[in-house]
Amino acid sequence: MNVEKPEDYHPSDIEHAHDIQELLLEYRKQFQETADFIKHKNETVPQNISDAIRYIDNQIAHWAGLF
């Protein structure tokens, strides 16, 4: 059985980049759901959650070639 080691991955690999993008999108989804839940309770969303969503949105814009 041929198992790839972590050092066999390179950031320039398309599959690796796709995996990272999917992971970040899932994090964004979780952050957004948390923010929506907090807002629904009429509470203030912590700044670090808002910052995380904004940071991931910025990365998505870079992937899409908007920046």
pLDDT digits (tens, 9 = 90+) for 24-60: 999 999 999 999 999 999 999 999 999 999 999 998 8
CA nearest to 38, candidates 20, 53, 24: 53
Would 34 be classed as within a structural domain?
Answer: yes
Would 26 be classed as within a structural domain?
Answer: yes
| 59 vs 62: which has the higher pLDDT | 59
User: CB neighbours (10 Å) of residue 66?
Assistant: 8
pLDDT at position 46, please?
98
pLDDT at position 10, please?
60
Q: What's the whole-model pTM score?
A: 0.71
Give exposure, 3-35, as e/b (b: 16+ Cβ within 10 Å).
eeeeeeeeeeeeeeeeeeeeebeeebeebeeeb
Would 65 be classed as within a structural domain?
Answer: no
Would 21 be classed as within a structural domain?
Answer: yes
Number of domains in the chain: 1
Owning domain of residue 30 = 15-40
- Rounded alpha-carbon distances, angstroms, from residue 66 to 2, 16, 45, 58: 39, 21, 27, 9
pLDDT at position 53, please?
97
| 12 vs 64: which has the higher pLDDT | 64
